C-alpha cells in the first residue's frame, strides 16, 4: 500500500508487514504424509501397531507368564499341533506353545533388534562418513579403502561368518548387525557430507577460523539430519529381515526366543505339512512389518529429500514465493 503526503508525493506505506507463520517441521511432515502419501500412511499405521504390540506384549499375549517361565514358552503338551480354534486363535506348535503369544512377543524382539542395531548403524555411518568428508586427505582415502574392502563380500556371508565366530545371542546379534550396517552406510553419509561441505557458509566458517568439530555439529549434522532419519527408518526393516534370515539359518536368537525367522525355520519347516500355520502366521507378521517400515521410509524420503521435487525444502520455498507475491500486491 502507498500513502500520499501533503505535497501530493507518493511515499511507501509504513504499515508493518506480517511475515508468514513458521510452521513446525513435524507438523508439516505429518500433514503432508497423510495427504499425499497413502502408502506411507499405511506404513506408519503398521509401524505404530508393531511398536505398541512389542511394548505391551505382556498384556496382549493370551498366554501369561507362570513363575519364571515367560508366556511365549509355556508348554501344553496335550494340545500340541492344535489347529487354530477359539482357545488358540493361531494354533499351537509341536510343544503346545501358543503361536499367537509367540508372534506377539516376536514383535518385541524384532523391534529391539531393529531399532538398536539401526541406531548403531546410523552412529557409525554418520560419524565416520561425515568426518571423512570434512577432513578429507589421507584419512578420507584410508576410510574409503577399508569400506571398499568390506563391501566386496556379500552381506549375508559376512553376517554368517561373524555369528559363527562369536556365537548366537541377542547382544551378539545386535552388535554384528550394527557394525556391518554401519560400515556399509559410510559411503552414503560421506556423500551427504561432501554435498554440504561445498556450500559457502561452510567455507565462510572455515575462513573465520572455526574448528572442524564445531562445523560438523553446528552446520553439517543439522542439514543432513532429514536424510539420516530416512536412512534410519529404512535400516530398521533391513535389520529385522537380516535377523530373521540369521534365525532361519540357526545363527540368530537361540531357543526359546520367539524370533519370527526361527519360528518359520524350526517349527514351521519341520511341520509344514501337518501344521502349515506354524510358518504362515510368523511369515505374515514379518511381511507386514517389513512392508510397513519400507513404505514409511519411502514416503519420508520423498518428503524430506530436498533433491526430489516436492521435498520439504521446496515446500518451504513455495511458501515464501506465495508470501512474496502477496506482499507485492499489498505494496502495489
pLDDT at 45: 92
Domains along the sequence of the chain with CATH: 48-331 (1.10.3720.10)
Alpha-carbon span 2 to 11, nearest angstrom: 6
pLDDT of the residue at 325:
57
- At residue 17, the pLDDT reads 45
Q: pTM value?
A: 0.73
Residues pairing with 4 in the sheet: 10
pLDDT of residue 49: 92
CB-CB contact of 230 with 192 (8 Å): no
Classified as helix, coil or strand, 12 is strand
User: Which sign, positive or negative, has the C-alpha torsion 98, 251, 246, 242?
Assistant: positive
pLDDT score at 82: 87
DSSP H/E element including 331: helix 312-331
SS3 154: coil
258 by Cβ neighbours in 10 Å (0-12 / 13-18 / 19+) ranks as: buried
Q: Could you tell me the CA-to-CA distances from 213 to 19, 124, 130, 194, 251 in Å, in that order?
A: 34, 16, 11, 15, 40
So what's the pLDDT on residue 212? 72
DSSP letter at 16 equals: P
DSSP labels for 243-304? HHHHHHTT-SSPTTS--HHHHIIIIIHHTTTT-THHHHHHHHHHHHHHHHHHHHHHHHHHHH
- Which residues of the chain, if any, have pLDDT below 70? 1-26, 305-332
Which is nearest to 124 in space by CA: 139, 143, 109?
A: 143
104, 60 Cβ separation under 8 angstroms: yes
Angle at 158 between CA 194 and CA 122, to 5 degrees: 35
CA nearest to 239, candidates 170, 192, 147:
170
Phi and psi angles of residue 4, each rounded to the nearest 5 degrees, phi first? -105, 130
Bridge pairing between strands 10-12 and 2-4: antiparallel
Sign of CA dihedral 151, 152, 156, 158: negative
Dihedral over Cα of 178, 240, 119, 142: its sign: positive
Backbone phi, then psi, for 10, in 5-degree steps? -80, 130
Q: Distances from the Cα of 181 to the Cαs of 29, 186, 191, 193, 236, in angstroms?
A: 27, 9, 16, 18, 10
pLDDT of res. 315: 45
- DSSP calls for 82-136: PPS-SSSTT-B-TT--BHHHHHHHHHHHHHHHHHHHHHHHHHHHHHHHHHHHHH-
Cell match 525367522: residue? 261
CB neighbours of residue 106 within 10 Å: 28
Q: What's the rounded Cα separation, in Å, for the pair 279 and 244?
A: 13
CA 305 – CA 283 distance, rounded (Å): 32
Peptide bond before 256: cis, by omega within 30 degrees of 0? yes
What mean pLDDT is reported for the chain? 79
Amino acid at each position: 500500500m502507498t500513502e500520499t503526503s501533503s505535497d501530493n508525493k507518493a511515499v511507501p506505506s509504513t504499515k508493518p508487514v506480517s511475515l508468514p507463520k513458521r510452521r513446525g517441521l513435524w507438523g508439516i511432515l505429518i500433514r503432508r504424509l497423510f495427504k499425499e502419501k497413502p502408502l506411507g500412511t499405511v506404513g506408519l499405521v503398521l509401524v505404530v501397531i508393531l511398536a505398541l504390540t512389542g511394548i505391551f506384549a505382556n498384556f496382549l499375549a493370551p498366554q501369561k507368564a507362570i513363575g519364571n517361565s515367560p508366556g511365549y514358552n509355556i508348554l501344553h503338551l496335550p494340545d500340541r499341533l492344535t489347529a487354530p480354534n477359539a482357545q488358540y486363535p493361531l494354533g499351537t506348535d509341536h510343544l503346545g506353545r501358543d503361536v499367537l503369544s509367540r508372534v506377539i512377543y516376536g514383535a518385541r524382539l524384532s523391534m529391539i533388534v531393529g531399532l538398536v542395531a539401526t541406531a548403531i548403524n546410523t552412529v557409525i555411518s554418520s560419524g565416520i562418513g561425515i568426518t571423512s568428508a570434512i577432513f578429507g586427505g589421507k584419512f578420507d582415502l584410508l576410510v574409503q579403502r577399508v569400506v571398499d574392502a568390506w563391501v566386496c563380500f556379500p552381506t549375508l556371508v559376512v553376517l554368517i561368518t561373524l555369528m559363527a565366530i562369536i556365537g548366537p545371542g541377542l547382544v551378539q546379534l545386535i552388535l554384528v548387525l550394527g557394525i556391518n550396517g554401519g560400515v556399509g552406510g559410510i559411503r552414503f553419509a560421506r556423500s551427504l557430507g561432501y554435498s554440504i561441505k561445498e556450500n559457502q557458509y561452510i567455507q565462510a566458517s572455515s575462513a573465520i577460523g572455526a574448528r572442524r568439530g564445531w562445523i560438523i555439529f553446528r552446520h553439517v549434522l543439522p542439514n543432513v539430519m532429514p536424510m539420516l532419519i530416512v536412512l534410519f527408518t529404512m535400516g530398521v526393516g533391513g535389520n529385522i529381515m537380516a535377523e530373521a534370515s540369521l534365525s532361519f539359518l540357526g545363527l540368530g536368537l537361540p531357543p526359546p526366543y520367539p524370533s519370527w525367522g526361527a519360528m518359520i525355520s524350526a517349527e514351521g519347516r519341520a511341520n509344514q505339512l501337518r501344521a502349515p500355520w506354524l510358518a504362515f502366521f510368523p511369515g505374515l507378521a514379518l511381511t507386514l512389518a517389513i512392508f510397513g517400515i519400507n513404505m514409511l521410509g519411502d514416503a519420508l524420503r520423498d518428503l524430506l529429500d530436498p533433491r526430489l521435487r516436492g521435498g520439504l525444502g521446496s515446500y518451504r520455498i513455495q511458501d515464501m514465493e506465495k508470501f512474496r507475491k502477496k506482499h507485492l500486491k499489498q505494496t502495489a
